[in-house]
Amino acid sequence: MNGKQLAAEKAVEWIEDGMVVGLGTGSTAYWAIQAIGRKVAEGLSIRAVATSIPSEELARELNIPLIPWSEITSIDVTIDGADEVDGDYHLVKGGGGALLREKITAYASKCMIVIVDENKLVKQLGAFGLPVEVVPFAWEMTAKHLEKLGCKAIRRSHSDGGVFITDNGNYIMDCHFGSIQDAPELEQKLQHIPGIVEHGLFIGLADRVIIGYEHGTVKVRERSS
Ligand SMILES: O=C[C@H](O)[C@H](O)[C@H](O)COP(=O)(O)O
């Protein structure tokens, strides 16, 4: 098992019968969805919501029962990956472009479990370009406002040059800060820029971080409050 799979297998231990579960997105969350699918096949009874169309499709293939958002008031536990995690449980997310649905899901969750391999742990966020979802209208202006915060903002494209469009019909600006000195302060600044739908800084949302190491061990870190 690789580090991502190890972390995912550990995380599903927190899922119990009757829970509403949030399914994350990405190559680490993939392993969690697989493990949940296995448990469902063995008789675990849960209901789930997904953070992206690919995760929803995977859940359907694995016969994980999906429910509409209108039928729930909160989520018991969400298991999701991250692009960077610092020592204060601050995250950068959105490498796969799913940050908006992921943040809606994390915010609605009683417990958000983040699963990563050791490569995602950082002293300071920002080496990974911060993904910011923006509406297509006047996106060039929104990019200029983002750059005033000290980054280089690049509109995300596919390898064939086509513009990347999120599940919500928006663009992603990858904002290269190099290092983010004060993540909560940057979060506040981002809230004030019109045109931004959501950004990939997750502050105060992760409750537990599970780290899988290549050599086969797993560490669990709990945020105190
Ligand atoms: O938009 C994608 C998500 O935020 C992912 O959870 C994040 O990019 C980590 O993905 P991966 O597990 O593939 O590294």
The answer to whether position 224 is within a domain reads no
Q: What is the dihedral of CA 106, 66, 17, 90, to 10 degrees?
A: -10
Same-domain pairing of 156 and 110: no
Same-domain pairing of 115 and 161: no
The answer to whether position 111 is within a domain reads yes
Position 224 scores a pLDDT of 84
Q: Give residue 157's domain range.
A: 130-197
The answer to whether position 154 is within a domain reads yes
The answer to whether position 84 is within a domain reads yes
Q: Specify whether 187 is catalytic.
A: no
Query: Would the annotation count 78 as a binding residue?
Result: no
Q: Which atom of ligand 1 is nearest to the CA of 28?
A: 12
Position 225 scores a pLDDT of 66
Same-domain pairing of 181 and 135: yes
| Three-class DSSP labels, the chain | CCHHHHHHHHHHHHCCCCCEEEECCCHHHHHHHHHHHHHHHCCCCCEEEECCHHHHHHHHHCCCCECCHHHCCCEEEEEECCCEECCCCCEECCCCCCHHHHHHHHHCEEEEEEEEEHHHECCCCCCCCEEEEECCCCHHHHHHHHHCCCCEEEECECCCCCECCCCCCCEEEEEECCCCCCHHHHHHHHHCCCCEEEECEECCCCCEEEEECCCCCEEEEECCC
Same-domain pairing of 94 and 50: yes
Same-domain pairing of 115 and 24: yes
Same-domain pairing of 78 and 42: yes
- 79, exposed or middle or buried, with CB in 10 Å at 0-12, 13-18, 19+? buried
The answer to whether position 67 is within a domain reads yes
Query: Is there an atom of ligand 1 within 6 Å of 23 CB?
Result: no
Same-domain pairing of 53 and 100: yes
Same-domain pairing of 79 and 183: no
Same-domain pairing of 103 and 17: yes
CATH number, domain containing residue 189: 3.30.70.260
CATH number, domain containing residue 26: 3.40.50.1360
How many domains is the chain built from?
A: 2
- Pick from 83, 119, 156 the residue to mutate for probing ligand 1's pocket: most ligand atoms within 8 Å of its CB: 83
Query: How far, in Å, from the CA of 96 to the mean position of ligand 1?
Result: 5
Mean pLDDT by 10 residues, the chain (225 residues): 96 98 98 98 98 98 97 97 98 98 98 98 98 98 98 98 97 97 97 98 98 96 88
Query: Would the annotation count 39 as a binding residue?
Result: no
Task: Please tell me the residue having the least CA distance from ligand 1 atom 9.
Answer: 82
